[in-house]
Amino acid sequence: MPFANLKVPAETLTPESKKKLIDAVTDAYVDVYGERARATTLVLVDEVVEGGWGLGGTILTADMLGRS
């Protein structure tokens, strides 16, 4: 079963854009494994809350991510 776990900043995706992202990742797996993979491809979208991101030891904020 193909599996993708995507981490995104919380409240940055609408339900429509989340669906578009899931569909795109599923399609990418299908492009590699063939149509048989579509039914078993699992895509999880985890929304990470403010302060839950770090890069190089620095906590990333909404301001730093350009979401303020």
Q: Which residue of the set 1, 2, 34, 40 is catalytic? A: 2
Q: Who's near 60: CB < 8 A, 6+ residues apart?
A: 53, 54
Domain that holds residue 21: 3-60
Strand pairing of 3-9 and 42-48? parallel
Q: Who's near 3: CB < 8 A, 6+ residues apart?
A: 41, 42, 43, 44
As for how many domains the chain has, the answer is 1
pTM for this predicted structure = 0.82
Q: Is 2 a catalytic residue?
A: yes
- Report yes or no on 66 lying in a domain: no
- Report yes or no on 65 lying in a domain: no
Read off the CATH number of the domain in which 48 is found.
Answer: 3.30.429.10
Q: What is the pLDDT along the chain (68 residues), one digit of tens a residue?
A: 899 999 998 888 999 999 999 999 999 999 999 999 999 999 999 999 988 988 899 998 877 777 65
Q: Which amino acid is at 14?
A: T
